[in-house]
Each structure stands twice: as C-alpha cells, then as structure tokens.
Structure 1
Amino acid sequence: MIGAGADLRATMSGFATGVTVLTTGGGSVHGMTANSFTSVSLEPPMVLCCVSRTAVMHEAITAVRSFAVSVLSAEQEALARYFADRARPLGAAQFREVDWRPGPFTGAPLLAGSLAWLECKLAEVYEGGDHSIFLGEVLATDRAPDERALLFYGGGFHRTS
C-alpha cells in the first residue's frame, strides 16, 4: 500500500514525460507548465490534461471552456521553469516577455519554438483526487519540423538526442 503523496511522486519520477505549457485565452489568459498530458482518442481527436483544483489554471480552463497546449522543445527549459514559477505575474502580464501567437480558435497563447501545438474545447471534466481531468476535443494542431524534445525524468529536465 502506498503512503503519502511523496511516495507516489518518487515512484513516478522513474517515468519520463514530455513537457508542455497549457494556456488559456479570452478573459482568463493564463499559462502553466504541465507534464500530465496525453492523447486519448483519434476519432474523435481528444487529449487530456490533469490540473490541481487549487491551481489558477483550473479556474481559467473552467471559465473559458477551452485550452491550448504547446509541446516544448529541448531549447525551452527556461520557459518550462518560468511557467512553473508561482512568482511570475498573473494574467496577460506573464506573456509580455514571451514570444507567442494567439490560437485561431481559442485565442490562447501558442508558444513560439515549440515542437507542436494543439487547441482544444473542453469536452468533459472528471474528478481525480486533488486534481481535475480535463478532456479536450482537439480543434486544431500544428507542428514544427522534427527537433529535440524536452523531457522530465528523475525530478529534472532532460533533452532527447
């Protein structure tokens, strides 16, 4: 039987994941680094992300009923750290020094230099312990030419070769 959340965190540090930045547009512009993201279905195209119920992003996705995902490249570790920093500005101010373009469907920031981008409308929300599981119907995708990916493993950032 597993003990505290720290036990699960330590165990899961052995699972390498990609690194993304979730964003929202509209009246609730916000960004957040996340590695709890995956594809769910090809038909219809769906993805999911998991967000703590206490996170600003949780309220933002719930308010605008959509989100975007920027899959970070190996060169974007600084962005991953920035959007994970709770001391960064909130709202549109957090994007002042970041190169981005608005998603054509959601208006959510899509980060320049990323490996791939997705825009999603919120399809369902499921409770998952202290997090919510946001299921998104994919509205649009785009990707950059093949580049190296940013990974999170063992409690730190790594790059594919």
Structure 2
Amino acid sequence: MGTEGPVPRTAPDAWTLRRTFGEFATGVAVVTVGGADPHGMTANSFTSVSLDPPLALVCVGHEAVMHGRLAAGSFGISVLAAAQEPVARHFADRSRTLGAAQFDGVDCEPGPVTGVPLIRGALARFELRACDVHEGGDHSIFVGRVLSLDRPAARQEALVFHRGGFGRIAALQREVA
C-alpha cells in the first residue's frame, strides 16, 4: 500500500485516539488461562488470522496480568453472547479477586484438550496454543494455533463493544453453515 496525503507531524492524543478507535464495533470475548493460577480477562481484540493452519490472535497490554501468562502455553477464548454482559464486566474489573476465586460464580468448564477454563453459553469457544508473539506498541499480539473449537446449535445475539459501552446485535437473517 502506498502512502497518500500528508503524514501528521504529531500523533493524536490518547483520548482522541481511543474515542476514534471506539467507532469500530467489535465482539467481546473472555481470554482464559488455566493451570495452578488460572486467570481471565475481557478482550475485544480477538480475530481470526488463518484457516490453514488455523490461527487466531489476541492483543494484550503489557501491564495486564494476562500478558505474562499467555506466551507460556495454552489459552482459551470464549466469544460472549449478549446475555453474558455481566461476565464481560466481571473479567474487565481490575479490582476482582485473582486466581481460581475469580471463576467462582462464573459458569465455566475445562476445555477438552488443554483444560483451560471456557465460558458455558458462549457463542463460540476456542482452545489455542500460543505459537508467536509480536510487539505492537504498548500491547503484544499473541498468535495461537486453534486446538479445539465449539459452537452451540442455538443461535443467540452477540455482545458487542462500541463507543466505550456494551450493546447487542441481533443474529443476521441468513446463517452461514
């Protein structure tokens, strides 16, 4: 891609950049790791990368507890349904109890391959093995190979994040099999 137009001489301030990025509506997921000290984190920076091999990525801030946990091995992604906004808020709350206690009261189960916690009732659930990390400013981009996935037969509304808040989007009229 070529560059067109003038390049700004100064970067936008963080507040303006955050608000402008917020115009892009995204899905909401919970990223989880298991083991002796399980952890979960709400994220809206999850996306597919490749079908062959099956890869997906998640971006995590350097200061996040999750950052140090992802590169070491396996992680889970649970794509949340609209009714799961309380779960999203729970794992986004930086004052919540950490460790296994943060999963108390959250309906989850161990993934079939790695045992990472996966949220029941999610629209889609993935188990991934970290295979690459790329630096991206104040975040790292963790790429994982999909080890397992499931998607319930019953379609639900998706939870979305837009302009700094949660919302819902009705399922599309056409269904891709």
Taking structure 2 as the reference length, what is the TM-score of the superposition?
A: 0.88
Q: Output the amino acid matched with 1:18.
A: G
Q: Confirm or deny: 8 A CA contact 1:23 1:69 kept in the other structure.
A: yes
SS in 2 for 1:75: helix
Whose helix proportion is higher, 1 or 2? 1
For residue 28 of structure 1, what is the aligned residue in structure 2? 37
Distance 2:37 2:146 in 1: 20
- 2:28 aligned with 1:19: yes
Q: Output the amino acid matched with 2:80.
A: L
SS in 2 for 1:88: coil
RMSD: 1.0
SS in 2 for 1:54: coil
Matches within 5 A, 1:114-129: 114-129=122-137
SS in 2 for 1:158: strand
Q: Confirm or deny: 8 A CA contact 1:26 1:106 kept in the other structure.
A: no
- 2:166 aligned with 1:157: yes
Distance 2:14 2:33 in 1: 28
For residue 89 of structure 2, what is the aligned residue in structure 1? 81
For residue 16 of structure 2, what is the aligned residue in structure 1? 7
Q: How many residues align?
A: 160
Q: Deviations over 1:90-147 (max 9, x none)?
A: 0111001111100122211110111010000001011010111000000010012211
* Shift of residue 4, structure 1, vs aligned partner: 2.1
Q: Output the amino acid matched with 1:74.
A: A
Q: Output the amino acid matched with 2:22.
A: S
- 2:155 aligned with 1:146: yes
Q: Confirm or deny: 8 A CA contact 2:71 2:142 kept in the other structure.
A: no
Larger radius of gyration: 2
For residue 3 of structure 2, what is the aligned residue in structure 1? none
For residue 131 of structure 1, what is the aligned residue in structure 2? 139
Structure 1, unaligned stretches of length 5 or more? none
Identity between Structure 1 and Structure 2 (%): 56
1:53 to 47, 59, 62: 62
Taking structure 1 as the reference length, what is the TM-score of the superposition?
A: 0.96
- 2:134 aligned with 1:106: no
Q: Output the amino acid matched with 2:166.
A: F
Extract structure 1 runs of 4+ deviating beyond 3 A: none
Distance 1:139 1:27 in 2: 21
